[in-house]
Every structure is written in C-alpha cells, then in structure tokens.
Structure 1
Amino acid sequence: MFSEIDHQLLHVWRRRLLGLDKGSPRIAIVGNCQSFGIAYGMKLLAPQAHVDRFMIVRKGVATLDMLAKTLESYDHVFSLEFQPGFIRGGGSEELKARLPRISPIPSIVFSGFHPDTIYVLDPTRSGYPIEGPTGPYHSAIVLFAYLRGMSVDQTQALFQESLFEALGYFDVWEDSAREFLELASVSGLDLSAELVRWSRSGPFMYSMNHPKAHVLFDVARALLTKAGLPVASVEFADFAVDDIVRGVVFPVYPEIAERYGHRGAYLFKRANYRLARNVGQFDDLRGYIQASFAVYARHQRDQLMAPRMVEWLANPDVGKLFAFHAADALTRKYARA
C-alpha cells in the first residue's frame, strides 16, 4: 500500500514531467506530522518560493535513493529527524549522508503542559504503540489506577492538584524548556525568545510532540532566516491553517494550566481526519477514563508495562499515594453531598 511519501514522490515526478513546477527558490521539507506547519509557514513567509512537503509517518515502498535523487534538484532542503524503517534504505541520518547540505529542523517536543502523558509500547508486538481514545497518548494516572484495580470513580478523584504536586508534575517545565532549547541549538537555532512568547500566549502544545500552528510558523521563519532567505512581514493569524489539530488533542489539565497563568480543561479530543463526514468526538474526564479502561481490558498486564508503570509499581509509596488521594477526594465529595 502506498504511503504519504510514495504519493508525494509520484506527484512531484509527474509535475516535473509536465513542466508544471513554478516558483523560486525551490524548497523541500521532509519529516513527520510537524512538516506541514513548517512547509505552510515557509510558503506564507516566502510566497514566490516553490515549496514541497515530503511527509514520512508510515512505511511505504519508496527507497532512500528515490527520495535523495528527488531532493537533489531543490535549492534548499530542510528535514526533521525520522528513524529507519519508514523508507527502505535508512532514516534521516542516512539521507543527510547522501545530501550533506540538508538543514536540520528541530523536533518540537515539550512536556511542560502534559507531564501525565506517556506512550504504551506493546513488547509482544515489537514495541508497537497501544492506541487508546487519544491515540498513542495515555494518562499515566489512569493506566496506573487501572493496574491497581481502582474504579472509575476512584480514578476520576485522583485528578487533583495535591496528587499532581506529589508526582512532581509541576517540576517538569524547566527540564522540558531546557531540553527543547538544547535540541533547537543542535539545529543552529536560538528559540529562547520564541519559547517565552509562546508560553505567555497560552498552552502552545496539543500534546507533548504536537505543537500549535503558530509555533511551527515561528520555527519556519527562524529556519528561513538562518538559510539567508528573505521573509515577508505577515501576520500568521490572518492566514492560519492548522493541520495537526485534526488529530488528537490531549488537554492541559486545569490545575497545571493555572499554575502557569492559563486556563485548562478536561476535554479529550479524538482524532478526526475526515471533517466532511462528521465534526468529531470529545470525551470528558470520566468518559476518557471509561474508554481507556475498556482498551486496557483487552490487553494482558505485561503489554501495559510502560517504563513509568514499572517504576511506580516497584515503589509501594506510589500505590499508597494513589489510595490516599482517591479516598480523601471521595470522602470530601460525599461530605459535601
């Protein structure tokens, strides 16, 4: 079955054969789900340029040789990191060895707003992600509560500031910011001023590795500037297109958002890439817990052993912490009733 990268390569080859390529300079963006926001931002900032995006998120039939030969004709090539296995012949490191002039794009990863989010990689399926109601993103609190045999009511009661504090969720921000800026620095970018601006404007991530569109626009501008290309003076909000929001949105919990002066919610958005068919589906906290429990019930316990689960289960104090906070919250709830 053809993947996105296969279709894009065929589209580019056909267009070249028909002499339909227009615009200068010729710019190519290679990468994952963040690549559209970068490519769109570059086109908006350099409207006379010819911008192509090569999306690599699924295995296809394309080879590294096909991709490298296609990219050779571009004036500027920017690439996010991608692992071997999606394209036959290697990943981004092997591509850079073929085309040393490739400019790296830093992956936007920031956990400060989503310290509870984890991946659950199934060891019985070669580490393939287990999908829940919010795709590959899971709540560590919900999964641990399930593994401890807690009820939906008990699990819902855990979502409170005191437990977040005890788990260190309010201590994640500084490390996330430092790691993000270090990763940007490796790509030759100083995004410290941008990070401050994003943080002041509100939660700028849909999940720990899915940034909002204005973030990718700012990164696109930084990349073009570093490459010595002129950029237009344009307000992104006037032309905003957000491709990533069609996917999952893992909420910023109110207690966490308020710590940074913003407003959060317990509203979990499911992925919906077919907007012509329906407007989408959302879960409140209770619905999300119920849907997650239903997914976990279809798996064996050893399939659910994410690293954080192994760590927490090995520490009796964490189990006691969960039991105490659930009991305390429910006691206070029923006392008010």
Structure 2
Amino acid sequence: MAPSAEILGAVPVDHVPHNTYEHYAALIDAADIVLAQTISEDYPVVWIRQSSLKALCGDRLLIIPNVYFSGYTPDMGYIHGNGARHIVQGPMADYHLYPVVYAYQQGWAPDRATALFSDDAFFTQTYATAAETSLAELKRREATLEVGIADFIAEHYRERRLFNSMNHPTAYLLSAMADRILDHLGVRHYDMREVTQEDYLSAVVKTPAPAMHRMLELRFNNPPIDRAYDLNPDLTPAFDRIRYYTISELVEAFYAIYDRHCDVIRQFPTGIKL
C-alpha cells in the first residue's frame, strides 16, 4: 500500500506493563518515524507519555489524534465502579447503553426501555447537540497536531458510516487517516480508501438508534441489528462467539445482567433527565 515504507512493529499501549522500555528500545531506535496517539501525562507507564516519547524520539515523533466521535451513539458508554470499567460486562463487553441503564433504574419493563430508542422526543431532548459537541472536542484536541481528521468526519459522517462505536473507527476512516499521515510524511502510497480491508475494530458494532438516525439525517443504511458477543450461561460475555442482536434482545440481556449487579447499576449517573 505504501511501496516506499515498511512498518517495523507496534506497541500496544493498553497492554504495556510498567518499566518495559527495554523491550521496545531496539524497535523504536530503528524507526525513521514513530507514530503515537496523544497520551496523557498522567498515564501510569512513564516512558509512553507524550513528553517522554518526545525526549526519546525527537523529530522522528509524529503525534496523531485519538479518533473518537460519539455523535452516532451518545447513548453508549462505560460503567465505572471501584476505579475500573470492567465491573459490569455484558453483550457489548465494557460498553453499555445509558437509556437501558436509566430505564432499569426507573423500574420500567424491558419493552418500555426498547421503545426509547425510537423515541424522537427523548433523543432530541437528551442528545440533540451530541454530534456537534463531540466534533468540537476532537477539533480542540487536534489543534496542536500536524495531522487531524475532524474535518473529514464532519464532512462525511452523514453519508457514510465512519465508526463502529465511539472509539472504534471503521476501516474506511482509518484508511483516510493513513492517507493523511502518509501525505504529511511525503511517503508515496496508494489511495488507502480504495483498498478493501478487513474491519478489525468491529467485534462490537452499535448502529445509531433509529431516533438518532432521523435526528442526524444520516444517509447510510442503518440495519436494525447490532453486532456483539454471545453470553455464557453465567451471563458473562463469550468473547469467542459473535452474535447479532435486535435492540429488544439487547435490552433483555442487559436487564438480566443488571439484576446481578443492581447495586452498581442503581447508583450509576446516566446523565438522563426526563
């Protein structure tokens, strides 16, 4: 795809234990260009922090944005508890649907929770500015970077699906990002978006709620099913088995799981007020 460039390797940041720079030193030292997403100065692995990488790599370092957009699915997020987000997992692993959490907290029946996802008034009241706010935040984060993608998302998100979940871009969007990185570096390459690629970040695919699809006037096909994990008999996610759910099936699954974690669920702030 880029005949004049070679990828030497990758460092999976979320799996790097403390004090392991020596394991990657040769890889980083051998690279002409080191790509890194923005990483907080509070990140527990010191050498991966942006300032540390800048000191290690100098002008070889190119910081690229964390591609995040919650405009399609502002109703989706994590449930944190006891300092972790893995405290309650369901068919979407760590992801949860806040309208389902809210409905469960109110003691509503599952069918009433399901109806929220087609409720235009509810989504307008709760999430009317979500897409604009998310784009504005991405633009703010990109302001000091040499390569950005927020303008591409703003231009294309209505006509083509660009995210499988708020922090998992589709292969098409990742290809557009790769085009921009290679252009910036002056590396000759094919048009990445014209190359068929496997969508690696698609284990969980949450389609925009029907009400959200209408509110944003999205023009791409929006199937009424979501891709997630099957559940084991103990209601934990079966990460080796993919299943397709209707929204009513997702709600039923989440309700069964929340019955086992009701103390955590009842205390979680969804941000929803009706």
TM bin (shorter chain): 0.7 to 0.9
The yes-or-no answer on 1:47 pairing with 2:9 is no
Q: Which residue of the partner structure matches residue 299 of structure 1?
A: 261
Structure-2 change in CA distance of 1:303 and 1:150 (3 Å): closer
The yes-or-no answer on 1:264 pairing with 2:222 is yes
Q: 1:249 aligns with which of 193, 198, 205?
A: 205
- Counterpart CA distance in 1 for 2:67 and 2:96 is 19
Q: Which residue of the partner structure matches residue 233 of structure 2?
A: none
Structure-2 change in CA distance of 1:201 and 1:97 (3 Å): same
Q: 2:23 aligns with which of 62, 66, 69?
A: 66
Give the match's secondary structure for 1:122.
Answer: coil
The yes-or-no answer on 1:175 pairing with 2:130 is no
Higher relative contact order (CA 8 A, sep 6+): 2
- Counterpart CA distance in 2 for 1:279 and 1:119 is 21
Conserved in 2, the CA contact under 8 Å of 1:118 and 1:140?
A: yes
Q: 2:38 aligns with which of 81, 84, 109?
A: 81
Conserved in 2, the CA contact under 8 Å of 1:82 and 1:91?
A: yes
- Counterpart CA distance in 1 for 2:30 and 2:228 is 39
- Counterpart CA distance in 1 for 2:48 and 2:125 is 40
Q: 1:139 aligns with which of 72, 97, 107?
A: 97
Conserved in 1, the CA contact under 8 Å of 2:101 and 2:265?
A: no
Conserved in 1, the CA contact under 8 Å of 2:100 and 2:254?
A: yes
Q: Which residue of the partner structure matches residue 120 of structure 1?
A: 79
Structure (1/2) with the larger helix percentage? 1
Structure-2 change in CA distance of 1:198 and 1:68 (3 Å): farther
Q: Which residue of the partner structure matches residue 246 of structure 2?
A: 284
Q: Which residue of the partner structure matches residue 174 of structure 2?
A: 216
Conserved in 2, the CA contact under 8 Å of 1:62 and 1:87?
A: no
The yes-or-no answer on 1:225 pairing with 2:183 is yes
Q: Aligned residues: percent identity?
A: 21
Give the match's secondary structure for 2:152.
Answer: helix
Conserved in 2, the CA contact under 8 Å of 1:112 and 1:172?
A: yes
Aligned residue pairs, count: 259
The yes-or-no answer on 1:155 pairing with 2:117 is no
Unaligned runs of 5+ in 1: 1-43, 313-317, 322-337
Unaligned runs of 5+ in 2: 231-238
Comparing 93-102 and 214-223, the one that deviates more: 93-102
- Counterpart CA distance in 2 for 1:175 and 1:86 is 25
Tell me the TM-score normalised to structure 2 length: 0.82
Give the match's secondary structure for 2:10.
Answer: strand
Letter in 1 for 2:145: S
Tell me the TM-score normalised to structure 1 length: 0.68
Q: Which residue of the partner structure matches residue 330 of structure 1?
A: none
Compare CA radii of gyration and give the structure with the larger one: 1
Offset of residue 253 of structure 1: 1.3
Structure-2 change in CA distance of 1:172 and 1:204 (3 Å): same
